[in-house]
Amino acid sequence: SSSSSSSLNNPKDGDKERERDKLADAERKRKSAEERKYNKAAQAADQLLSPSEDVALADRIRKLKTLVCDFVKSVASPFLRSKTIDKEQFKTIARKATDKVVDGQLKGDPKCV
34-64 burial string, b = 16+ CB within 10 Å, else e? eeeeeeebeeebeebeeeeeeeeeeebbeeb
Pairwise CA distance, residues 111 & 113, whole Å: 6
| Predicted confidence (pLDDT) at residue 52 exceeds the cutoff of 90 | no
Question: In the prediction, which pLDDT does 30 show?
Answer: 76
Helices 11-49, 2-9: inter-axial angle, 10-degree rounding: 60
- The pLDDT of 22-32, averaged and rounded, is 81
Mean pLDDT of 22-39: 78
The pLDDT tens digits for 60-106 are 888 889 999 999 999 999 999 999 999 999 999 999 999 998 888 87
Calculate mean pLDDT across residues 30-35.
76
pTM: 0.50
